[in-house]
Amino acid sequence: MDKIYAYFKNISLLAIVDIATCLFLLVLAFMFFYHKRSLRVFLTLIGAIVAKVIIDALGVFLGNNAFALCSEVLRYFLLFLLVAVVVVYQSDLRSIFQRIATPHGIDLFQEGFGSGDDLHAATDELLSALQTMAKQNTGAIIIITPTTMDSNILETGTELNAKISAPLLVSIFNTKAPLHDGAVIVKGNKIL
């Protein structure tokens, strides 16, 4: 009991800041996993962290490298779990970092538009083209991207760099047209 009292008696301001930072990061992780409805993953991560802390604390209090093997196994398990979470939630993490990196809180989907009217006009043209193609039983893959596309994808098609319009989209997906394609990439109000 004296060791526990001595441990808490010697806590510095830096240790308190460290604990507060860890708690803040845990709350952020909880909010992320709760929003993604993956609470089991979060609880597994927290359980492994708590087990690691308990094993390390027991090792310190008991001395003589007690639970050294368990501590190392849990350390590698936590590392594996962290890598697995990053791999599984890669697209979600990318969108979070894009939002953080976007200056002045600009919405990524409005990036290519001059105003809200341009956004509505482009949406109307897109919907009109989709309705026309649906009536004609014409299939179309339209990729709407808020950011720049990988150059490998862009190099495989014909570059148009044209303002989006319903007749242009319908003609692109017309199987008898010379520029017929199965997919287009739309960024802002432009067909790339």
Distance CA(139)–CA(118), nearest Å, equals: 26
φ, ψ at 183 (rounded to 5°): -155, 150
Distance CA(132)–CA(35), nearest Å, equals: 37
Q: Which domains does the chain have, with CATH numbers?
A: 2-101 (no CATH), 109-191 (3.40.1700.10)
Element (H, E) at 187: strand 183-187
| Residue (of 59, 51, 38) closest to 77 by Cα position | 51
Length of the chain: 192
CA distances from 18 to 6, 29, 44, 170 (A): 19, 17, 22, 58
The model's pTM? 0.43
> What does each of the 192 residues of the chain score in pLDDT, given as a tens digit?
676 677 667 777 777 777 788 788 778 877 877 777 778 888 888 888 888 888 888 888 887 777 888 888 888 888 888 888 888 888 778 777 777 776 654 444 445 555 667 778 888 899 999 999 888 888 888 888 876 666 667 777 778 888 899 999 988 888 887 767 778 888 878 888
CA distances from 15 to 6, 19, 158, 178 (A): 15, 6, 58, 68
User: In sequence order, what are the residues at sequence separation of 6 or more whose Cβ sits closer than 8 angstroms to the Cβ of residue 129?
Assistant: 140, 165, 166, 167, 168, 169, 170
Q: What is the pLDDT of residues 100-112, one digit of tens each?
A: 776 654 444 445 5
Contact yes or no for 134/128 (Cβ under 8 A)? no
pLDDT of residue 150: 64
| Residue (of 44, 45, 74) closest to 59 by Cα position | 74
Beta bridge partners of 142: 184
